[in-house]
């Protein structure tokens, strides 16, 4: 359009010069018509040039809008999380294989401690269950009790009774007793008799040695 306008302007100028030179009204009218046509062509070309960036901008914005939509449409659907989501306040058990450690055995009830092997005598388990005729235990300090627990001197015990005694204790009269190392008797739960006081005698013998 600009080239055509320039050609029309050049033609109008040529007609204007010729019309003035020859004093021809026809040439002057042609020059005026060419000038008007050139002006119209120039205005049309200017409008088209102004509309071109707007159309390009609209095309670019439309492409920018459709491109993310196309990428979203082409994206693969998100896979659900294989791990179940725990509800609030609940606990999720994770297998030890997932943590990289060896499998652990399921926690079960603890097995009761095994009873001592052999036909060993049993002391009374609870003081409230002691027989009413059982003598009170001898009062011994913790240090003396620890020393006695390392001795292996035999004392006498009665099956089902909680005390251990010295030979000749009046509590053993008419009762069947059996010897047992004092350390083992203490491990089984027997306590020293308050009548014959075996711990005092054992400690005195140890001091003499």
DSSP one-letter string for 5-19: HHHHHHHHHHHHHHH
Q: What is the pLDDT of residue 139?
A: 93
- The predicted structure's pLDDT at residue 88: 46
Domain ranges of the chain: 2-74, 127-208
Q: Given this model, what pLDDT does residue 121 score? A: 62
pLDDT of residue 19: 66
- The predicted pLDDT at position 89 comes to 47
| Residues 54-80, mean pLDDT to the nearest whole number | 54
Q: Which has the closest alpha carbon to 184: 139, 128, 117?
A: 117
Rounded to the nearest angstrom, the gap between the alpha carbon of residue 60 and the centroid of all alpha carbons in its chain is 48
Would you place residue 28 in the very low, low, confident or very high pLDDT band (cuts 50, 70, 90)? confident
Render pLDDT for 30-54 as a digit per residue (tens, 0 to 9).
Answer: 778 877 877 777 777 777 777 666 5
pLDDT for position 169:
93
**Mean pLDDT, range 161-176, rounded to an integer:** 92
Residue 67 or residue 50, greater confidence: 50
The CA distances from residue 154 to 33, 86, 124, 149, 195, in Å, are 147, 64, 20, 12, 17
Flag the least confident range among 30-44, 140-154, 182-196. 30-44
Contact 193, 139 (CB under 8 A): no
Does residue 195 have a pLDDT over 60? yes
For the chain, the residue count is 209
**CA–CA dist 151, 187 (Å, integer):** 12
Which tens digit of pLDDT belongs to each residue from 70-116?
454 455 555 555 544 444 444 555 554 555 555 454 445 555 555 45
């Amino acid at each position: 359009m600009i080239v055509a306008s320039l050609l029309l302007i050049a033609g109008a100028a040529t007609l204007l010069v010729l019309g003035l030179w020859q004093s021809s009204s026809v040439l002057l009218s042609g020059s005026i018509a060419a000038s008007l046509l050139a002006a119209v062509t120039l205005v049309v070309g200017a409008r088209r040039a102004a509309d071109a960036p707007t159309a390009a901008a609209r095309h670019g914005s439309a492409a920018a809008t459709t491109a993310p939509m196309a990428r979203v449409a082409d994206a693969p659907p998100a896979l659900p999380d294989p791990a179940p989501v725990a509800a609030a306040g609940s606990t999720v058990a994770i297998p030890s294989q997932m943590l990289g450690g060896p499998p652990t055995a399921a926690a079960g009830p603890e097995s009761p401690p095994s009873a001592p092997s052999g036909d060993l005598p049993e002391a009374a388990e609870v003081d409230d269950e002691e027989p009413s005729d059982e003598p009170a235990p001898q009062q011994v300090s913790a240090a003396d009790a620890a020393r006695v627990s390392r001795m292996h001197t035999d004392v006498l015990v009665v099956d089902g009774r909680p005390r251990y005694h010295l030979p000749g204790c009046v509590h053993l009269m008419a009762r069947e007793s059996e010897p047992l190392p004092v350390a083992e008797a203490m491990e089984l739960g027997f306590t020293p008799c308050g009548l014959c006081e075996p711990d005092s005698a054992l400690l005195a013998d140890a001091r003499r040695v």
